[in-house]
Amino acid sequence: MKIVVIGSGLIGLTSAYFLRRSGHEVTVLDRQEGSGLETSFANGALLTPSMAEPWNAPGCWRVLLASLGRSDAALQLHFKTLPSLAGWGIKFLRNSSPGRYQSNALSNLRLALYSLKMMETLRQETGIEYGRNPRGSLRVFRDVAALDRAFAGAEHLLARSLSFRRLSSAQCVELEPALAPIAGQLAGGIHYEIDEIGDAHRFCVGLTEHARRLGVEFRFGTAVSALEMRSSRVTAVASGRERFVADRYIMAACSYSTPLLRQASIRLPVRPAKGYSVTFEAPQGPGSLRTPIVDDHLHAAIVPLPGALRTVGTAEFAGFDRTLNPDRIGNLKRLMQELLPQESVDPTTAKPWCGLRAMSADGVPIIGATAVPNLLVNTGHGHLGWTMAAGSAKLLTDLVNGAATALDPASYALARF
């Protein structure tokens, strides 16, 4: 079968890889000059089943209202984006009821765990190196009450699926000595042993080369301008005057999937949520950070990468605006100083970045069929795109092939909306 995949970030690339491995003729289209140059470029680098909970937790409306006009809010809502979020926002809040939130978190957890297995398969098949570090993640807390709540939540959601342990402040430092200077500020932490880190852009570059050797065709600098339709089917994808004809079309353009699918009269409940990172050059030394640290109070993380440290966090509902907010960048720089005051980081090497996460209205990815028979979608992963990429791609491939799936596809289908 001939298949066109739109998008060459983590989701589009892994989809193309698994589709090609199952025997399909695959062409990938991307408007950028290479793979993984948008949302996948300098993301959090975290593969974290431990963070399976959607962002629309019960009571999230209070958080969003309190964020209006505040540059220091972890999750910020902008006045100018309210009209574009109206219908989507109602679904977002409706899914914040305790029952729906719990169900959606479990759907994410199942896909995240499956995805780690598929990543292991992919590594074995390709031999790709991307700075993988399987040391887990350490979530640290500044007060006992917050630690108690988080640990109770982990026991409720994760206990039958993940291995994790509660640590005292001293045990946090034992696991990660780089925290010693702030040990007195910590009430303790939770170590999630299954979590991993890895450079997502490096992975994208490596997988692109491997997929190309397998026969996947990549057309970079090819912005999709139109979906041509006839008799309720896609007949071609147009990029300027160039047309790409296939049997199946996979929309994996992250947040940009939403406006593109409107051309096929498909209302996709996915909106962009802008996330930030700052990457510093940081040569590894004896006292350097080895384990990714998630700061519960600041809702941000510091991740060690080969030769670098990356601070990540915060989110803005700012539409498709990719302007770097200096206040948000400043917050992440301060996080580095607060958590790792003795880390030898050269501030002049700071590389700020932002990307648009594709956030579905219930916080669960949308994978599979649409109302157009030959058009499928793979997007809406929010903060878990790196975590869920391989599993989402394998689930999509099984659906294309009409094969049995390891997970119930109804949990991720567009039809659930």
pLDDT tens-digit map of 40-66: 999 999 999 999 999 888 887 676 666
Show the domains of the chain with their CATH numbers. Answer: 2-136+194-416 (3.50.50.60)
Residue in 49, 55, 140, 1 with CA at minimum distance from that of residue 317: 55
> Confidence class of residue 415 from pLDDT cuts 50, 70 and 90?
very high
H/E stretch holding 87: helix 86-94
Q: CA 403 to CA 399: how far, in whole Å?
A: 6
| Nearest CA-CA partner of 315 in 42, 150, 78 | 78
User: Tokens representing 108?
Assistant: 């994410």
Amino acid at 394: K
Residue located via tokens 């039809």: 415
Res. 156: pLDDT tops 90? no
Query: Looking at the predicted structure, is the pLDDT value of residue 138 above 90?
Result: yes
pLDDT interval class at 135 (50, 70, 90) = very high
- Kindly state the tokens that stand for 1: 């079968």
CB 344 within 8 A of CB 283: yes
Characterize 98-120 residue by residue with b for buried, 16 or more Cβ atoms within 10 angstroms of its Cβ, and e for exposed: eebbeebbbbbbbbbbbbbebbe
CA distance 237 to 115: 29
Q: Does pLDDT of 203 surpass 70?
A: yes
Distance CA 85, CA 87 (A): 6
Strand 196-197 relative to strand 2-6: parallel, antiparallel, unpaired? Answer: unpaired
Q: What is the pLDDT of residue 66?
A: 60
Q: What is the pLDDT of residues 23-37, one digit of tens each?
A: 999 999 999 999 999
Whether the per-residue pLDDT at 410 is higher than 80: the answer is: yes
DSSP assignment of 101-149: HHHHHHHHHHHHHHHHHHHHHHHHHH---S--B-S-EEEEESSHHHHHH
Neighbour-count burial of 160, counting CB atoms closer than 10 A to its CB (0-12 exposed, 13-18 middle, 19+ buried): exposed
Residue 151 CA: distances (Å) to CA of 73, 147, 148, 254: 24, 6, 5, 32
Mean pLDDT of 240-269: 97
**CA-wise closest residue to 129 among 77, 199, 180, 178:** 199
CB atoms within 10 A of CB 347: 10
Tell me what pLDDT residue 285 has: 73
User: What is the pLDDT of the chain when averaged over all its residues?
Assistant: 92
Taking a C-beta distance cutoff of 8 angstroms, is the pair 29, 5 a contact?
Answer: yes
Distance CA 404, CA 394 (A): 11
Q: How far is CA 348 from CA 41, 279, 415, in A?
A: 20, 11, 49
* C-alpha radius of gyration, the chain, whole number: 21
Instruction: Give percent helix, percent strand, percent coil of the chain, each to the nearest 5.
Output: 40, 25, 35
Whether the pLDDT of residue 346 is over 90: the answer is no
Query: Which amino acid, one-letter code, is at 12?
Result: G
For residue range 73-102, list pLDDT tens digits in order.
666 666 566 666 778 988 988 999 999 999
pLDDT digit string, tens, across residues 374-400: 999 999 999 999 999 999 999 999 999
Please check the confidence at residue 69 and state whether its pLDDT lies above 60: no
* In the chain, % of residues over pLDDT 70: 94
pLDDT of residue 347: 84
pLDDT per position as a tens digit, 98-134: 999 999 999 999 999 999 999 999 999 999 999 999 9
Q: What is the pTM of this model?
A: 0.95
Per-residue pLDDT, averaged over 186-207, amounts to 97
Q: 332: number of CA atoms within 13 Å, CB side? A: 29
Q: What residue has token string 């949990």?
A: 411
